[in-house]
C-alpha cells in the first residue's frame, strides 16, 4: 500500500477572520468549506489556486497550539510580488541568500500571525532577480 497524495495540513489559528485575510487576501487561497465542529471548533478548508493539498485552519486549542505548524512549502510564481504582499500585511519574510538564483530556485520563509511557519519556493524555471539595496 502507498500514499497517493497529501490531502491536508492543519494550521491552528487564534482568529479565522484574520487568517483568511492573509491566506485568501494575500496568498490567493480559496475557501472550500467553512464549518463548525462541536469538539474542535471552527474548521476552514482552503486550497491554493493551483490545487494540491488543502490547509485546514482550525481553532487553536490544547491539542492544536497556535504556531505549531512548521515545515510546509508554498510554491509561488513571483517571489517579489508575494514578499511585497506579505510585507503590506505586516508579515516579515526572510529570503535565504544562499539559495538565490540557483538551480533549486529561490527560497524564503515567513510566519503567519500566529507563528505558523512556511517556506516559499519559486522554482528555477521562473526567473527571479533580487536587486540589493
- CATH number of residue 37's parent domain: 3.10.180.10
Tell me what pLDDT residue 107 has.
87
Tell me what pLDDT residue 112 has.
97
Counting the structural domains of the chain, the total is 1
Separation between Cα atoms, residue 46 and residue 92, nearest integer Å? 22
- For residue 16, the enclosing domain spans 8-60+68-122
Is residue 113 in some structural domain?
Answer: yes
Q: Say how many CA atoms lie within 13 Å of 76 toward its Cβ.
A: 24
Give me the residues paired with residue 118 across strands: 72, 110
Closest CA to 94 of 109, 82, 77: 109
Tell me what pLDDT residue 126 has.
55
Tell me what pLDDT residue 5 has.
87
Query: The C-alpha cell of 12 is what?
Result: 491552528
Separation between Cα atoms, residue 27 and residue 88, nearest integer Å? 12
Computed on alpha carbons and rounded to an integer, the radius of gyration of the chain in Å comes to 16
Is residue 115 in some structural domain?
Answer: yes
* pLDDT, one tens digit for every residue, the chain (133 residues): 798 888 999 999 999 999 999 999 999 999 999 999 887 789 999 999 888 899 999 999 998 999 999 999 999 988 889 999 999 999 999 876 555 556 678 889 999 999 999 999 888 775 544 433 3
Is residue 1 in some structural domain?
Answer: no
Amino acid at each position: 500500500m502507498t500514499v497517493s497524495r497529501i490531502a491536508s495540513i492543519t494550521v491552528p489559528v487564534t482568529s479565522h477572520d484574520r487568517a483568511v485575510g492573509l491566506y485568501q487576501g494575500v496568498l490567493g487561497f480559496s475557501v472550500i468549506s467553512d464549518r463548525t465542529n462541536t469538539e474542535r471548533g471552527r474548521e476552514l478548508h482552503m486550497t491554493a489556486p493551483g490545487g494540491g493539498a488543502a490547509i485546514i485552519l482550525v481553532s487553536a486549542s490544547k491539542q492544536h497550539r497556535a504556531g505549531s505548524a512548521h515545515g510546509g512549502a508554498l510554491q509561488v510564481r513571483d517571489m517579489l510580488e508575494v514578499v511585497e504582499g506579505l510585507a503590506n500585511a505586516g508579515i516579515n519574510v526572510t529570503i535565504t541568500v544562499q539559495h538565490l538564483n540557483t538551480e533549486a530556485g529561490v527560497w524564503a520563509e515567513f510566519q503567519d500571525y500566529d507563528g505558523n511557519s512556511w517556506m516559499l519556493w519559486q522554482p528555477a524555471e521562473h526567473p527571479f532577480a533580487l536587486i540589493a539595496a
